[in-house]
Amino acid sequence: MQLRNQVEWVLHCCAILAMLPEGARLSTRALAEFHGVPKEYLSKALQSLAQVGIVEGSLGPAGGYRLARPASAISFLDIVEAVEGGGRSFACTEIRCNAPCHPPGFRPEGPCQVARIMWRADDAWRRELAAQSLSALADQLGRELPADLQSRTAGWLKKRISS
Q: Under the rule (CB under 7 A), what is the footprint of DNA?
A: 1, 4-6, 27-29, 37-38, 40-41, 43-44, 46-47, 50-51, 57-65, 162
Stretch touching a second copy by CB under 8 A, among 17-25, 43-51, 55-63, 112-120: 112-120
Alpha-carbon distance of 2 to 118, in angstroms, equals 17
Q: Does residue 9 contact residue 49 with C-beta atoms inside 8 Å?
A: no
Stretch (H or E) spanning 162 = strand 161-162
Alpha-carbon distance of 139 to 18, in angstroms, equals 10
Calculate the alpha carbon distances from 65 to 38, 61, 124, 125 in Å: 17, 12, 31, 28
Tell me how many residues contact a second copy (CB under 8 A).
55
64 binds, among a second copy, DNA, none (CB under 5 to 8 A by kind): DNA
- The answer to whether 67 contacts a second copy (rule: CB under 8 A) is no
Stretch touching a second copy by CB under 8 A, among 18-26, 53-61, 63-71, 88-96: 88-96
Q: Which of residues 117-146 bind a second copy (CB under 8 A)?
A: 117-118, 120-122, 124-129, 132, 137, 140-141, 144
Q: Does residue 163 contact residue 66 with C-beta atoms inside 8 Å?
A: no
When binding is defined by CB under 8 A, the residue of 60, 61, 99, 107 that contacts a second copy is: 99
The one-letter amino acid code at 127 reads: R
Q: What residues are paired with 133 via a beta bridge? A: 75
Stretch touching a second copy by CB under 8 A, among 17-25, 44-52, 56-64, 83-91: 83-91
